[in-house]
Amino acid sequence: MTALNAIAHTNQRLTGAIRRGVRIAGCGSALPTGTLTNADLATIVQTSDEWIQQRTGIRERRVCDWSKGESNLTLCTDALARALADAGMKAADLDLIICGTITQDMRCPSTACLVAARLGAGTTAAWDLGAACCGFVYSLNVAHDLIKIGTHRAIGVIGADTVSSLIDYSNRNVCILFGDAAGAVVLTGTDDAAKGLIAQVNKADGAGWPDLYMPGVDSEIPETADRGVHRVGCLQMNGREVYKFAVGTFQELIAETLQKAGMTADQIDMFVCHQSNARILEAARERFGIPQDKLYVNIDRIGNTSAGSVPLCFDELVKAGRIKPGMVVMFLAFGAGVTWSSSLWQI
């Protein structure tokens, strides 16, 4: 083949792929068996059920029972296995697995590689993507585009975090918020070109890292930080600053995504949002006049599960029959980095 022929061949393949759509062929999720209620936390730190519910909307969160062998890896594996079963596919049918997580059981190799091995995916490519609470939405956008340009046919996308493994349970600012969960989807190409992404936004501002971070070594703790609170291996959060960032950025993210799509909020059938704090979600709902049944909230019984929250919400909505083919769905997340990301789909 001459160089010109090769270019023509590639162009033909890409044009053909771009005319195709991308669909979510299946979804699944996994929750650990342990439950940590506000009353449980009130026996560990000075807090109350009333304070936590009022400030966050959380009643309880699900946490791994490590003694039963539950972990980030088992949740990720179960979530993707269920998504594959839902899609009627086998792990070996995938040509890539992306796992959005920051709480790997083992730092090396990637969780995606271990999931691939457990599910018998053979030589399917696999990597982790670290973007904290945005891990799933970033990964979903990357996976969509890889299928859209025609380099991949089927991709398993996992979002999962076991934040309980990073929590100092004497720090009441942080321990009240977080829990553990995993969710997954399987993306494939489709002849229906209308299906797939309508718009996406992926952003980060690394200067904001000190407001939400986990020091790996002592020298990473800022000089000004209280060393009684900031401890190596434990998640640190300046709640007030993150709250201010989240309220503003979340609303701007919705506005920018709608503007890119040339759509208005009332054209969106469902908002599937990172469950950070019920008050942050409520503020966005009010600003855009979104009816309560179109912005899903499960933080009351699940807590904030970082990258696990968006795919878990999606799976719960699909299983409840509240998301169906043909609907327009906006996925939204923001978190440590700081990062923020959206993915607007024709399902």
> Interface with ligand UT7 by CB under 6 A: which residues?
47, 51, 55-56, 133, 172-173, 176-177, 239-240, 242-243, 246, 276-277, 280, 304, 335
Element (H or E) spanning 133, and its range? none
* Cα(309)–Cα(312) distance, integer angstroms: 5
Structure-block tokens of residue 101? 């997580």
Cβ 52 to ligand UT7 shortest distance, Å: 6
Q: Least separation, in Å, of the C-beta of 255 and ligand UT7?
A: 19
Tokens of 169: 């349970």
Active site residues: 133, 274, 304
Residue placing its CB nearer to ligand UT7 in the complex, 72 or 277: 277
Nearer residue to ligand UT7 within complex by CB, 87 or 137: 137
CA distance 212 to 14: 40
Nearer to ligand UT7, 206 or 291 (CB): 206
Residue (116 or 174) nearer to ligand UT7, CB: 174
Nearer to ligand UT7, 51 or 288 (CB): 51
Least distance between ligand UT7 and beta carbon 47 (Å): 3
Residue type, 186: V
* In the complex, residue closest to ligand UT7 by CB: 239
What end-to-end distance do the CA atoms of the chain give, in Å? 39
CB 143 within 8 A of CB 157: yes
Cβ atoms < 10 Å from Cβ of 196: 21
As measured in angstroms, the least distance from the Cβ of 211 to ligand UT7 is: 9
User: Which among 167, 171, 136 is positioned nearest to 332, based on CA atoms?
Assistant: 136
The two structure tokens encoding residue 114: 């271990």
What is the rounded distance in angstroms from the CA atom of residue 17 to the CA atom of residue 131? 28
Single out the residue of 32, 97, 89 nearest to residue 65, CA to CA. Answer: 32
Minimum CB distance to ligand UT7 smaller for 47 or for 190: 47
Minimum distance between the CB of residue 176 and ligand UT7, rounded to whole angstroms? 5
Alpha helices in the chain (DSSP H): 3-18, 38-42, 49-56, 72-87, 111-118, 135-148, 172-175, 239-261, 278-288, 299-302, 309-319
Nearer to ligand UT7 (CB atom), residue 96 or residue 333 = 333
Least Å distance, CB 183 to ligand UT7, is 15
Distance CA 314, CA 201 (A): 19
The C-alpha atoms of residue 203 and residue 205 are separated, in whole angstroms, by 7
Report the nearest approach of ligand UT7 to the CB of residue 27 (Å).
22
| CA 293 and chain centroid, separation | 21
Location of structure tokens 């959206």: 342
